[in-house]
Amino acid sequence: MATILDRIRTTIELMVQRLSSKNIGQELRIASRQCRLLATKANGTLHIVDEFSNVLRDAENQRIEILPWEPAAVELHGLLKDAERLIDMCCCGDEWLKVAIDRGNLKLTFGKLLYDIEWHESVLCSSLVLEKNAFVQRFCDGNLTFADNFKLLAASKKDFQSLLDLLRRSHVCDEVCEPGTDGGCLARKLLKKMEEEEIRVVVRRETLPLQSPLLLWVNSQQLPKGKALGRGSFAKVRKTTWLGLEYAKKVFNSGSVHQVIFKQEVTVMAGLDHPNVLRIVCCFADSELGIVMELMHKSLFDVLNDFRNKKYAPGAVTPFSITQAVDLMLQLAEGVRYLHSKHLAHRDIKSGNVLLQFADPKHGTTEPWSNGNTCPFIAKVADFGLTKIKNTSTHRGHQTLMTGTRPWMAPEAYKYEWTDEPTPSSRYHPMKLDVYGFGIMCCEILSGEEPYQKLPSYAAVKAGERPKLPDYIPERLAALIQLCWHGNPRMRPVFTTICTELRFIKGLLLRGDQEALRNIAIDVGGASMNIGDEVKVRGPWGGGGGSPFFDGVVTSIKSISVWYMKNPMACISCVEIEYEVNERSFFVTHGKGIRGSKYAQVKIDEPNEYVIEIEGSYGVTAAVTVGNAEVVSILSLAIRTNLTKYGPFGGSGGTQFSSGEGKVVGVFGRSDMIIDQIGFFTVAPEAM
């Protein structure tokens, strides 16, 4: 116990001591008030850790059962080390101008650390409380408390004004002006950029004029060409050095089309400052057109490809532990949520457009990272300009106009692939395309495999073909991912909901709360559909084979088709359900069916008729076997509406189950060749 808690204490004490130094006024030139706010938050953590140690010691002495707490403590220590590194960076003395240009507006970075420290404190302390409501989803929305948000806003405004005052002094950048500017002063250019940000709200859908003061413009001749990092059909990326720091330099090919692409990309990226969004540092438009960006380690696709080629952790089954994977997903979801909050849709979410950097600069590039809970990477969403054009060089497919790359492409955008026909905006919502691509990418992160070994057809994707999720992941996480790649865009959650759910799942993983991880998160679907607490979960019943499915919560069920076999091969081999959401119908199919199955269809005469109960049985089936092991599956189903009863369909025997009385508004479970497991969402009679 003492080791990790003592390390937390030592880190906090050093951080507070650093900021209390008598010379700190000369060293701390950037974000001084935000640094002190962060140190104050950390100092509060010190008191919480002391109290936690006392309660933990009493619990151990009395042999009281508690949940695992060490994973949360290790992550909390990692966050405090991040805070320490951020404060050290701001203690830059005479290098303040370089740091200001390099890091930009740090408000959201400080805000994220403030929230994450408090959230990890909550997870840590909740391990001492066994009640089910000790750790709940409402603690996971990612929003600072009103008091902390007010303090951060006040501190960031004062820090912004302090930097403006520094820049307004007489010439302050002799050592950096000459090599980095085009006959102008860098401090003056940064001042003009910040003043423009202060008075102007950028309209994201308008292309900014070339040489806009909202961007920092430099001379491309002063950016040396370094190692090639990558190239596409419209740009090349190389490593470069500027102001003594390493960056990635992206040079766009010559031609009028590429000038338009260049303007689009700088328009999108201008003014974006988020810890999980790739930041543009400066631009150039002279003999070359290009941008200078943060230098990252590798793309997520390349990291996963290295894992597949056994260059990293060759003995590991998956590229990341489950907690690391969820943390990585959460970072990416936060980045996309930020873009959506700025009314920007990425439109090409995929592993190749995610860049990674080691969270700890001392981390070696050949070290395995699949052990432990803490994710070793900072993930950033990148390549916004790629979403505006057709890029025939995209890996494993074709990028379509405004809709993405094929393996990550939502079915509503699929039919316009390989054509120059613009996709009608009425057919899809761009932000829902991002949710679908995110779901596919989550499967990549969990399995380490590419989404599909063979690219599926439009008909297959429309019919519900998706990558196979690994069997080891918690049901709650599987349900979220399946909701993200749902065939009906209206069923896909918004990224605010995704972030909250992922953070809650991460907390459950850190606490080792396996029971809660098995619960299906019905509020993920409900949050985007305004369905309240009246929705109940019934089941699931059956075996543990197959892959999980989650249809979400809908307005009503219009028809249920059942393929079944009777004794002695009793089973439900396939179910197709026609749902309705907001007066739109869509079909969902589970199970692949077995030759010789009988077929029955139940049509529901909505709104006069509706399903009030589904009952059936489950047990060992002789229809399929796995080696010598018996397979437990759903043996029969019967559908009862408010007017009549249909069925039963299937065989007899087994253990009986029932959804109970109440309108059935959704189905979940597990399936492969047959229906292995089934459960239902219902609305109580008084809520109907």
Annotated binding site for ATP: 250
CA 349 to CA 337: how far, in whole Å? 12
Instruction: Name the residue among 535, 433, 551 with its Cα closest to residue 494.
Output: 433
For residue 125, the Cα-to-chain-centroid distance in whole angstroms is: 25
CB atoms within 10 A of CB 126: 22
SS3 49: helix
CA 144 to CA 117: how far, in whole Å? 11
CA 30 to CA 23: how far, in whole Å? 15
SS3 273: coil
CA 477 to CA 152: how far, in whole Å? 33
Q: Compute the chain's Rg from CA coordinates.
A: 28
The answer to whether the CB of 565 falls within 8 A of the CB of 597 is yes
Structure tokens at 647: 């069925």
Upper half-sphere CA count for residue 550 (Cβ side, 13 Å): 28
Instruction: Name the residue among 261, 127, 253, 268 with its Cα closest to residue 208.
Output: 268
What's 512-547 look like in SS3? Answer: CCHHHHCCCCHHHHHHCCCCCCCEEEEEEEECCCCE
SS3 300: helix
First to last CA, the chain: 52
SS3 599: strand
What's 151-200 look like in SS3? Answer: HHHHHHHHHHHHHHHHHCCCCCCHHHHHHHCCCCCHHHHHHHHHHHHHHC
Structure tokens at 272: 């974006």
The answer to whether the CB of 170 falls within 8 A of the CB of 149 is no
CB atoms within 10 A of CB 603: 12
Continuous segment of H or E residues that includes residue 581 = strand 571-581
Binding site per annotation, positions: 250
The answer to whether the CB of 636 falls within 8 A of the CB of 649 is yes
Residue partners of 117: CB distance under 8 A and separation at least 6: 41, 42, 45, 76, 79, 80, 83
